[in-house]
A = this chain, B = another copy of it.
Amino acid sequence: MTDDRRLRVALLGAGSVGSQVAALLLRHGDELADRAGARLDLVGVAVRDLDAPRDTDIPRELLTTDAETLLVGSDIVIELMGGIEPARTRLLQALNAGADVVTGNKALLATHGPELFEAADQVGASVHYEAAVAGAIPIIRPLRDSLAGDRVQRILAIVNGTTNYILDRMDLEGADYADVLADAQRLGYAEADPTADVEGYDAAQKAAILASLAFHTTVPLDAVHREGITQVDAALIESARAAGYVVKLLAVCERRTDEGREAISVRVHPALVRRTHPLASVHGANNAVFVQAEAAGDLMFYGAGAGGVQTASAVLGDVVSAARRHIAGGVGVGESTRANLPLLPIGRATTRYQITLEVDDRPGVLATVAGILADGNVSIATVEQRIIPGDGTARARLVIGTHIALEQDLGDTVERLASSGVVDRVASVLRMEGD
């Protein structure tokens, strides 16, 4: 085909993903050349420390600490440094010099995505970022290309492997959060400081990226409502199980009609998922993205959400695409944000809820509770009342499943329940997704 063509590829970063990308570029040169239409010459790998230990051997002569010089004259720049700076500056330099870029940097995309896409548009270059969401799972390309003729209605996604691993083990073993977290840290599934994962920051970055793409709208990271899993305990998972549900940390991206106008809601929080739902069988540190589209119906994409070599697969797929585009010339695909839908605050989100109350077991309590719910525009779908055994007083646990309600109505109603005098304690309030 075009084996005489050669493209210069610069790699910035040689951590767990970067070092695997270097290894695969060097090992599979012939196959990649065939698929890309040009040889991909790895001209250098920018690292912070030339002597740091790495997962794979990179020839010493390829290593450099000078990223800025490395990317001069490169046709394709792969950024796997992570963090905002200097990644942002280097990618802008690369784009301005006409290189096509590939990045797996979700933090950068979620905060400075529009800036990068605009810089690419200016020079007719392209930005590829399949590795930024859900590791090896092809989800960016399906959303941007395969569903380009459809309308995405909703995405429910498990995009953080650490929290799925923790919740899955809590579900399987009845174990407590702190114990599983400690074990996950010991096994390398969670970091020493687990905040980014367990508080939902990582998932929120991915939600912003997915929603931007699915709804052709710029979704700022700070507009994504975010709750983590630190409040999820063994009792909550057990009662979810008893009711036929599993608790998952979900990124939810929804197209909505709100007060007569089209809008979107983007949020990350633990949610009850029915055990028969495809997302319920996503175990361990795996990821899955469940997409509901107007024409295509329900789709699910499943696989490893992290891991150096797995994510390297996504990066190399992007490198081949970037190479084909670089050869073909013409304009980049560009990120369409023309739809520019308004982003709803969390109070305007709608979903079903499960409210668990501890109440006195005496006549009239249920009627009072039901009245408060009705007054608050929260419609009851299911109620289950059980005596709380063994504490002498006559107390009951009331588990209420609601129909779809507005988050702000639900919040107001729960406050009114808490101060109503008939409710001892609001044990939990959980969103139910995917029903």
Q: Is A362 an interface residue (CB 8 A)?
A: no
Roughly how many angstroms separate A181 CA and B281 CA in the complex, as a whole number? 29
Q: B303 contacts A298, CB within 8 Å?
A: yes
Q: Is A338 an interface residue (CB 8 A)?
A: yes
Cross-interface CB contact of A295 among B31, B312, B328, B339, cutoff 8 Å:
B312
Q: B297 contacts A278, CB within 8 Å?
A: no
Known: A296-B310, A330-B327. A145 touches B141 (CB 8 A): yes
Q: B35 contacts A297, CB within 8 Å?
A: no
Roughly how many angstroms separate A141 CA and B333 CA in the complex, as a whole number? 15
Cross-interface CB contact of A316 among B31, B149, B321, B330, cutoff 8 Å:
B149
Q: Is A130 an interface residue (CB 8 A)?
A: yes
Per-residue CB contact flags for chain A residues 1-38 toward chain B (1 = under 8 Å, else 0) read: 10000000000000000001000100010011011110
Known: A28-B151, A35-B216, A148-B35. A138 touches B320 (CB 8 A): no
Known: A31-B339, A34-B336, A338-B34. A297 touches B302 (CB 8 A): no
Q: B295 contacts A299, CB within 8 Å?
A: no
CB distance from A360 to the nearest CB of B (A): 43
Q: Is A334 an interface residue (CB 8 A)?
A: yes
Roughly how many angstroms separate A150 CA and B31 CA in the complex, as a whole number? 9
Q: A295 contacts B20, CB within 8 Å?
A: yes
Q: Is A97 an interface residue (CB 8 A)?
A: no
Roughly how many angstroms separate A313 CA and B291 CA in the complex, as a whole number? 13
Chain B residues near A313 (CB, 8 Å)? 147, 149-150, 293-296
Per-residue CB contact flags for chain A residues 350-391 toward chain B (1 = under 8 Å, else 0) read: 000000000000000000000000000000000000000000
Nearest residue (CB) in B for A130 is B146
Nearest residue (CB) in B for A23 is B295
Chain B residues near A315 (CB, 8 Å)? 149
Q: Is A87 an interface residue (CB 8 A)?
A: no
Q: Is A84 an interface residue (CB 8 A)?
A: no
Chain B residues near A151 (CB, 8 Å)? 28, 31
Chain B residues near A28 (CB, 8 Å)? 149, 151
Q: Is A329 an interface residue (CB 8 A)?
A: yes
Q: A303 contacts B314, CB within 8 Å?
A: no
Chain B residues near A293 (CB, 8 Å)? 136, 313
Roughly how many angstroms separate A298 CA and B320 CA in the complex, as a whole number? 21
Copies in the complex: 2
Q: B141 contacts A142, CB within 8 Å?
A: yes
Chain B residues near A150 (CB, 8 Å)? 313, 316-317
Q: A303 contacts B300, CB within 8 Å?
A: yes
Interface residues of A in 247-291 (CB under 8 A from B): 278, 281
Q: Is A137 an interface residue (CB 8 A)?
A: yes
Chain B residues near A299 (CB, 8 Å)? 136-138, 301-304
CB distance from A149 to the nearest CB of B (A): 2
Q: B142 contacts A138, CB within 8 Å?
A: yes
Chain B residues near A329 (CB, 8 Å)? 328-330
Interface residues of A in 130-160 (CB under 8 A from B): 130, 136-138, 141-142, 145-151
Roughly how many angstroms separate A295 CA and B1 CA in the complex, as a whole number? 26
Chain B residues near A130 (CB, 8 Å)? 146
Q: A1 contacts B317, CB within 8 Å?
A: no
Question: In this complex, which of A142, A295, A309 has the most chain B Cβ atoms within 10 angstroms of its Cβ?
Answer: A295
Nearest residue (CB) in B for A299 is B303
Chain B residues near A295 (CB, 8 Å)? 20, 24, 136, 309-310, 312-313, 316
Q: Is A411 an interface residue (CB 8 A)?
A: no
List 6 additional contacts besides A32-B148, A145-B321, A296-B314; criterion CB under 8 Å. Answer: A138-B138, A138-B141, A149-B317, A150-B317, A328-B330, A329-B329
- 10 residue pairs of the A-B complex, CB under 8 angstroms, read A35-B216, A36-B148, A37-B334, A142-B142, A278-B281, A295-B316, A297-B303, A298-B303, A298-B304, A327-B330
